[in-house]
Structure formats: structure tokens, C-alpha cells
């Protein structure tokens, strides 16, 4: 069977690309080894983060490096094999984290974030998924007056970028979330125009169902080989999977942290590295019900209300994709979380773990591959693939159909690393 476009990857980014292409008259096939929304897009804090206009640079202050070195933190941990494997990408990450470079990177990053809620809204309406969305923001909790003041001062400047917020005292926090214990906290930033999603996996599935209702095709199969085709009718693609072989004019790689292994045989080797996260759900009771996701800024974990229960989401672990799970970070997080909310009974017998695709300059790769015609990349969104999937999908469709672009994609091109 031949298609106009094959999209490899059924997370938020891949599903959004497939949806936009199908909606705009392309015949689209979406391939993944798992059904939509069951990998990286399943495990996240469930936030569409309109406030996320700042990146997360590599720590450059000695005090911060000293803090991280013991490898006991709740926000970031690392494993030596991963440091060795990805050391070149990490060195680039350190380089790109220079203040002058971060300023430029953030100005480019913000062009994507500006469209996150509006582009989600288009897909939410089309898929009838509004019941999964709450639009009253989330809470960034602070344990020190110094970090709260810095965050509040920055938030005032962020209003110029369309970010809305309110600074809350502990008493105001208690009114919003009476079941939470805020001992040890000094206040919070309430990010007002970011959205919560009660089941991230179901939102991806809703978008995928909408794609299918437009006659898009989804196949659950493992991609084994990608082969460029040259014929008298023009260039195209042959995709060999465990179950079948498919053909298309255009090919989109949107496989998150697995993207590099798909494109390496074609001569591409981008400095993508994975960052792992863990989460676990706890049964909801009258004593622990909350209405807003809460991020402990100083400890680096999120607790949020989900359909599956109260989801506790860790910070990041620098590790390899195939490394065994290590629940040490989650166990430390849970000790802190239980001081805020009673979390008596876990829903799952084992916590979920999954990886995010990160690039050293903190920006995704969006656009033409470079060495091959009709090959397109859409990956590397770090912790914001769930937030940025719809705008990325729209841009992929505009590129393939040669339309005017909603956002300039030059800052996100794949070729930028060949000059690094």
C-alpha cells in the first residue's frame, strides 16, 4: 500500500503531525510498535505549559554542580555509563548553556510555546476531548523566600510573552488546596493560563481517534528498515516493518528518544540523548484530593490529580535507554510527597518509567532532514513534547504542503549541529 505520508511515532508529536496532514488532504499512515499514547506521552505531569518560555540550561555555577555531584537529589540523578556514552552531547549542552546563548535559544523556543494552548484547543475541539482539560493553571511551590522572589520577578517580565500568573501566600495556598500540608513552604506562583490534562494518554488517543475518523490509518508494528526509493515517478520511501512493507512519498520521523536509531542507517547522527522520568499513582481519598498540579520547585517533583489517582512524577535521571529501572529517586521523592499529602495506597504494583528526547541546545529538531528529499524530522522536545506536539504537527504539515509557516523553523533545523 502506498501513502502520501508515513509518520513513524504515535506519541503526542507524531499523532499531531499525522492529524494535521490527514486533515489537509494527505493520505497518512502512522506507525509505532505501541498504540498511540503508550510511551513517553503516557508518563508526564499532564500539563500544557504556556508558562514554559524558559529552557533548563546545564548548571554552570560551582555550588549547583557540588549539589548535584553526590547523586542523591530528587530533581536530577545520573548514571556513569550514560555520562560516558553521551559525553559529547553533554559537552555541547554545557556550551549552549552560556548566558548569552541561552538568551537567544529562549527567544527561539518562545515562538513555539506561544502557540501551545491555541493549537491544542483546535485538536481538543475536533476530537471532543474537552472533558480531559482543566484551564485553571497549576502551582509552583517554593520553600525559600529567595527562590520565590526570583520566580516572581521573572514572572512579571514574562507577562510580555503572554504568561499570566499570581503570587500566592501560604494562607492563599491553603484555601486553594485545603488537604495539602504546606509546612516548610513560603508561597507559590500560580500559573494561570497553563492547562491540566487529567489523562495524558487518553488525550493522545482522542487525537488519534480523530485522525482515524478522517480516514487516517494506524498500524501497531515495529519498524525494521527505512529505504529511500528513486524512480521515474519521483523519490519516495519504503518502510519495512515486522508485519508488512509500506510505501510513501514523504516520511516523518517523530519517534522521540528512538528517532536516532531509525535515522542512523541513513547517515544521520544527531546529538540526541535521553532523560528518564518515573511516576506512580496513589488512590484518591477525601484526605488527599487536590485540584491543581503542584510542583515542588526546590525538590523538583510534581504531584497532580489524574483519572488514575494522584500522580507523583520525579525529576530527571540521566541514563541509557536500556538501563534497568532504579526507583531510588522515586522513593526519595515519595518521602517528601507524603509530607504534603497522605498517599496510602499505590495504584500500580510498579512505577512507570520512560525517556524524554533531549537535544544539547534545548530546542527540538523540526524540518527537512537535509540529506534526503521528502524526509522530515520532528523530535527532541525534551520535557515539552506533550505541550508542543500540536504546533509541531502543524509546522510539519505546512512544510510538506509548502505553505506559509506559522513559526520560522530555521532555528530548529537538523543541520545546525553539523556546525557545532
Domain spans of the chain, in order of start? 2-41+202-271+361-419
At 47, which helix (H) or strand (E)?
strand 47-48
What is the distance between the alpha carbons of residues 110 and 343, in angstroms, rounded to a whole number? 36
Q: Is the pLDDT of residue 232 over 70?
A: no
What topology is assigned to 2-41+202-271+361-419 in CATH? FAD/NAD(P)-binding domain (3.50.50)
Cα-based angle 14, 276, 303 (whole degrees, multiple of 5): 95
Q: Is the pLDDT of residue 403 over 60?
A: yes
Q: What is the mean pLDDT of residues 66-77?
A: 91
Q: Is the pLDDT of residue 420 over 60?
A: no
DSSP class of 341 = S
Q: What is the mean pLDDT of residues 13-40?
A: 97
Closest CA relative to residue 252, chosen from 70, 9, 83: 9
User: What percent of the chain stands above pLDDT 70?
Assistant: 99
* Mean pLDDT of the chain, nearest integer: 96
At 203, which helix (H) or strand (E)?
helix 200-213
Whole-model pTM: value is 0.97
Contact of 100 with 367, CB cutoff 8 Å: no
Cell of 252: 516523518
What is the distance between the alpha carbons of residues 392 and 249, in angstroms, rounded to a whole number? 20
Contact of 40 with 204, CB cutoff 8 Å: no
pLDDT in tens, 311-329: 999 999 999 999 999 999 9
pLDDT at 419: 59
pLDDT at 230: 81
pLDDT in tens, 342-362: 999 999 999 999 999 999 999
Number of Cβ within a 10 Å radius of residue 300 = 18
pLDDT in tens, 265-279: 999 999 999 999 999
Amino acid at each position: 500500500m502506498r501513502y502520501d505520508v508515513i509518520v513513524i511515532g504515535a506519541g503526542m508529536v507524531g499523532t499531531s503531525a499525522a492529524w494535521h496532514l490527514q486533515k489537509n488532504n494527505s493520505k497518512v499512515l502512522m506507525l509505532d510498535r505501541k498504540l498511540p499514547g503508550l510511551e513517553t506521552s503516557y508518563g508526564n505531569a499532564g500539563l500544557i505549559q504556556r508558562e514554559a518560555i524558559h529552557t533548563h540550561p546545564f548548571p554552570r555555577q560551582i555550588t549547583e554542580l557540588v549539589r548535584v555531584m553526590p547523586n542523591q537529589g530528587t530533581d536530577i540523578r545520573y548514571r556513569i555509563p550514560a555520562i560516558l556514552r553521551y559525553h559529547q552531547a553533554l559537552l555541547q549542552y554545557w556550551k549552549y548553556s552560556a548566558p548569552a546563548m541561552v538568551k537567544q535559544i529562549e527567544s527561539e523556543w518562545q515562538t513555539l510555546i506561544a502557540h501551545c494552548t491555541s493549537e491544542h484547543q483546535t485538536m481538543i475541539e475536533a476530537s471532543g476531548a474537552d472533558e480531559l482539560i482543566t484551564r485553571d493553571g497549576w502551582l509552583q511551590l517554593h520553600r525559600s523566600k529567595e527562590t520565590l522572589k526570583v520566580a516572581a520577578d521573572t514572572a512579571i517580565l514574562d507577562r510580555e510573552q503572554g504568561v499570566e500568573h499570581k503570587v500566592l501566600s501560604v494562607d492563599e495556598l491553603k484555601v486553594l488546596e485545603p488537604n495539602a500540608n504546606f509546612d516548610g513552604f513560603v508561597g507559590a506562583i500560580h500559573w494561570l493560563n497553563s492547562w491540566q490534562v487529567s489523562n495524558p494518554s487518553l488525550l493522545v488517543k482522542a487525537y488519534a481517534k480523530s485522525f482515524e475518523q478522517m480516514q487516517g490509518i494506524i498500524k501497531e508494528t515495529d519498524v525494521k528498515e527505512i529505504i529511500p526509493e528513486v524512480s521515474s515517478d519521483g523519490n519516495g520511501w519504503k518502510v519495512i516493518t515486522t508485519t508488512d512493507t509500506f510505501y510513501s512519498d514523504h516520511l516523518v520521523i517523530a519517534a522521540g528518544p528512538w528517532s536516532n536509531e531509525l535515522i542512523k542507517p541513513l547517515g544521520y547522527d544527531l546529538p540526541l540523548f535521553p532523560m528518564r522520568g518515573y511516576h506512580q499513582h496513589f488512590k484518591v481519598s477525601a484526605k488527599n484530593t487536590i485540584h491543581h498540579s503542584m510542583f515542588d520547585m526546590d525538590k523538583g517533583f510534581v504531584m497532580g490529580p489524574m483519572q488514575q489517582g494522584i500522580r507523583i512524577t520525579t525529576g530527571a535521571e540521566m541514563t541509557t535507554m536500556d538501563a534497568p529501572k532504579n526507583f531510588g529517586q522515586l522513593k526519595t521523592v515519595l518521602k517528601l510527597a507524603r509530607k504534603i499529602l497522605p498517599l496510602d495506597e499505590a495504584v500500580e504494583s510498579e512505577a512507570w518509567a520512560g525517556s524524554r528526547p533531549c537535544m544539547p541546545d534545548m530546542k527540538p529538531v523540526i524540518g527537512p532532514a537535509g540529506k534526503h528529499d521528502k524526509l522530515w524530522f520532528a523530535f527532541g522536545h525534551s520535557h515539552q513534547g506533550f505541550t508542543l506536539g500540536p504546533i509541531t504537527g502543524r509546522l510539519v504539515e505546512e512544510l510538506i504542503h509548502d505553505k506559509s509557516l506559522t513559526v520560522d523553523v530555521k532555528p530548529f533545523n537538523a543541520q545546525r549541529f553539523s556546525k557545532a
